[in-house]
Structure 1
Amino acid sequence: MNPSRPSRSPLHISLVCNTAWAIYTYRQGLIRMLVSRGVDVTVIAPSDRTFDLLTQMGCCCIDLPVASKGTSPRDDLRTLWALFRHYRTIRPDVVFHYTIKPNIYGSIAAKLAGVASVAVTTGLGYVFIQQSRAAQVAKKLYRFAFRFPREIWFLNRDDEAAFLDQKLLVHPERARLLHGEGVDLDQFAFAPLPDRAHFTFVLIGRLLWDKGVGEYVEAARALRARYPHARFVLLGPVGVDNPSAITQAEVDAWQREGVITYAGEAHDVRPFIVDADCVVLPSYREGVPRTLMEASAMGRPIVATDVPGCREVVADGVNGLLCEVKSAQSLTAKLAQMLDMSGEERRAMGERGRKKVASEFDERVVVERYKDLLHTLTGVSL
């Protein structure tokens, strides 16, 4: 804790991510708790449309240069230097880093600035999907940077095991399993499945090839002749700053073909979940996907890939179906299975999903973990 500040004064906490959108979308419960307790919250991320929304919630927002697509050492050093300067200026009591570059360069910058930090691995992404030189460099950087955080949080057991097995943690005793970042069960209330003639699938997330969007489109092509009442919707930002990004031109081509409907992006995904009969996420790897927790909380059956993160939320045959990763054929079969189920079977799946999320992924439990850690690091009870 900053020794110049009395212990009863508000803490200053910084949240650092490669997108402000992710801070706003996934950590509202945490921010509401901190602000309500009089904590100063600074969000450091590339500026986007959610800066205004975060400011309205009571956060101070600082623009951060992050080249998510690139591996240029010059760009990454700019990120590290910018974070170091911000930490030296604002002197936060604790910094929470999310996503790969803030985790690596933010952890180093916090150490240099003499600031306590926590790394939250929200998903390992391309580092553990690909076997490229860039992935090998990233693992070495992880091993160096992750000697500095006070704790390192993993959202699923597979990611924690990967770091431990590959000896990427110099201090393995600092690893903690968070089991997802939770969902607000009141905000994402249970809603009955639609009663209508057509059937709507929706894939919600950033439009990335790594999210399985290509397989989803192929499955839609294969199914639309057999199931003319089925609709296939995509919801989420297109052309994002990511090596796996899908372009607007590619989405436009799919729409012209009539294979999918692109619904754009939305601050509030709840109306789209309510309108869906099934939520789909054929991702290659996840932390613990928020969209699947939200969909289950609202009583929607799910089709997802049998990969780390997704299988934390989806129990195959219980609250959804799991397909093989990177297999459009397997995804097609599972979507067809969902279409062939009776309405009662899908309703039962949705109800079991709500119970699973309520027992395992309640956001209030996650917020308590943050409070406990902040007390341990600062001595301040919130």
Structure 2
Amino acid sequence: MRSIATTETADEGAHLADSRRGSRPKLLLVVTEEWYFVSHRLAFAVAARAAGYDVGVATRVDRHGAVIRDAGISLFHVDFDRSGMRPLREISTIAALFALYRREAPDIVHHVAMKPVIYGSFAARAAGVPGVVNALGGLGFVFSSTTLRARTMRLLARPALKFALSGWNARLILQNSHDKQTVLRAGLARPEQIRLIRGAGVDPALYSTSDVAAQPPLIILPARLLREKGVGEFVGAARLLRARGVEARFALVGRPDSMNPASFSAKDVAGWVADGLVEAWGWREDMPAVFARAQIVCLPTYHEGLPKSLLEAAASGCAIVATDIPGCRELVSHGKTGLLVPPKEVERLADALEELIRDPAMRARLGGAAREMLGDFTLDCVTAQTMDIYAEVANG
């Protein structure tokens, strides 16, 4: 792993940039966590490398460094802190990004999620990066929550985000039209800067179709164990269906996130398991195999850009139950490719799950239809659309 120097002079940085630049344009992706990069962006980074880019990723490195390097992606550690807003540490992160951009001299930086977008854009502008692509996969806790913490952070995030998105040669990728309208109403970006790309993409060839008719069905919720992912409603629906005498297995595929204030705890999960309501499968590296075992995928989330877990569910031919919100509606058409229910309504969620539990033929029909409509959501399609945006910023 390469360390980040923070003490180089401007002349030294320029000299290093000139000496290291080759014939391949240099692309640097910036994300907070390596596990997210591996699960959501590694396949894209490999595709970008095959398309002719020299690709690197700046992220907080923990356990997946070897996987990233083995894929031919340069790896740079940046100590992002997702859990709080300690001013000195946040300033240090921006300074580290600035030093990295000066030294590596990327032609394009691609920031993913709120903190990399804000901090990375500040650093990119100061370092003179020619092209900036910002991607928000949903507006997240800060813009959706009504808690005092979120409202306070929103007051700080709005002006910072507006400045970050206002670069002369910057593009903003959003995943659904609702988020686009929200950004435009708030005056955070200009219409000509915004591009819609629906999700991170999925390669259907990597996913085997599940045996959707199997009984009793396995219902999985594949996500971090956050309140805003609807984990509480999922557990509540499992409790209600058990009381109704409906036979099914419920599994949480994910783990608590101690750096997120909306996370359930390991103690919460252990209590649900002890009560016989759910199975806890934890973090899984082999998600295609997980989806191949499931008959129903449930995501009762409160807000999304466009969740990759639903793309993976569709690629596996699983029946889907999701909330009727922007992002989920991009993929799930009620009664055609899945079932949609109102957010935060446990009984309505239980009713939809019960309908699919009792009707294997319906599961097969919905799952098959979801797989057939994946054309616009494939990794190849998303990669091509993103490469077009890179070409835009490369040409100024």
Question: Above 0.5 in TM-score?
Answer: yes
Q: Which residue of 1 aligns with 2:145?
A: 130
Give the drift of 1:192: 4.1
Alpha-carbon displacement from aligned partner over 1:253-295 (angstroms, at most 9, x marks no partner): 1111111100111112111111111000011111110000110
Q: Which residue of 2 aligns with 1:141?
A: 160
Rounded to whole Å, the distance in 2 between the matches of 1:192 and 1:294 is: 11
Rounded to whole Å, the distance in 2 between the matches of 1:123 and 1:205 is: 15
Rounded to whole Å, the distance in 2 between the matches of 1:245 and 1:45 is: 22
Amino acid in the other structure paired with 2:164: A
The one of 328, 346, 364 aligned to 1:347: 364
| Structure 1, 234-243 or 112-121: larger mean CA deviation | 234-243
Mark the runs of 5 or more structure 2 residues left unpaired by the alignment: 1-13
Rounded to whole Å, the distance in 1 between the matches of 2:30 and 2:183 is: 21
The one of 21, 26, 46 aligned to 2:60: 46
- After superposition, the Cα gap between the structure-2 partners of 1:195 and 1:352, relative to the gap in structure 1 and judged at 3 Å, is closer
Rounded to whole Å, the distance in 2 between the matches of 1:185 and 1:269 is: 13
The one of 254, 264, 285 aligned to 1:267: 285
Contact 1:280 1:303 in 2 (8 A): yes
SS in 1 for 2:329: helix
Rounded to whole Å, the distance in 1 between the matches of 2:145 and 2:266 is: 24
For the aligned residue pairs, the C-alpha RMSD in angstroms reads: 2.1
Mark the runs of 5 or more structure 1 residues left unpaired by the alignment: none
Q: Which residue of 2 aligns with 1:188?
A: 207
Aligned pair count reads 375
Give the drift of 1:38: 5.0
Amino acid in the other structure paired with 1:78: S
Give the drift of 1:194: 4.4
Give the drift of 1:134: 1.3
Alpha-carbon displacement from aligned partner over 1:216-251 (angstroms, at most 9, x marks no partner): 111111111324521110001323422212211111
The one of 297, 301, 305 aligned to 1:287: 305
Q: Which residue of 2 aligns with 1:163?
A: 183
Q: Which residue of 2 aligns with 1:234?
A: 252
SS in 1 for 2:373: helix
Alpha-carbon displacement from aligned partner over 1:84-122 (angstroms, at most 9, x marks no partner): 111111111111000110011111111111012110111
Amino acid in the other structure paired with 1:108: F
Contact 2:356 2:362 in 1 (8 A): no
1:362 is the counterpart of 2:395: no
Rounded to whole Å, the distance in 1 between the matches of 2:369 and 2:214 is: 22
Percentage of pairs with the same residue:
33
Q: Which residue of 2 aligns with 1:174?
A: 193
| TM-score, normalisation: structure 2 | 0.90
| Match runs of 1:1-382 below 5 Å | 4=18, 9-115=23-129, 116-131=131-146, 132-148=151-167, 150-169=170-189, 171-189=190-208, 191-340=209-358, 342-357=359-374, 359-378=375-394
Amino acid in the other structure paired with 1:348: R
SS in 2 for 1:374: helix
Rounded to whole Å, the distance in 2 between the matches of 1:17 and 1:23 is: 7
Amino acid in the other structure paired with 2:369: R
Contact 2:212 2:363 in 1 (8 A): no
| Structure 1, 243-252 or 130-139: larger mean CA deviation | 130-139
Rounded to whole Å, the distance in 2 between the matches of 1:69 and 1:275 is: 34
Contact 2:213 2:363 in 1 (8 A): no
Rounded to whole Å, the distance in 1 between the matches of 2:112 and 2:153 is: 19
SS in 2 for 1:302: strand
Rounded to whole Å, the distance in 1 between the matches of 2:344 and 2:96 is: 38
Contact 1:42 1:60 in 2 (8 A): yes
Amino acid in the other structure paired with 2:393: L
Give the drift of 1:4: 4.2
Contact 2:249 2:278 in 1 (8 A): yes
Rounded to whole Å, the distance in 1 between the matches of 2:196 and 2:212 is: 36
Amino acid in the other structure paired with 2:138: G
Contact 1:212 1:326 in 2 (8 A): yes
Rounded to whole Å, the distance in 1 between the matches of 2:277 and 2:299 is: 17
Amino acid in the other structure paired with 1:350: G
Rounded to whole Å, the distance in 1 between the matches of 2:74 and 2:24 is: 14
Contact 1:11 1:93 in 2 (8 A): yes
Give the drift of 1:34: 2.5
| TM-score, normalisation: structure 1 | 0.93
Rounded to whole Å, the distance in 2 between the matches of 1:175 and 1:377 is: 12
Contact 1:239 1:248 in 2 (8 A): no
Alpha-carbon displacement from aligned partner over 1:126-179 (angstroms, at most 9, x marks no partner): 12212312123222221121112611110111111100112122x331111112
| Structure 1, 19-28 or 6-15: larger mean CA deviation | 6-15
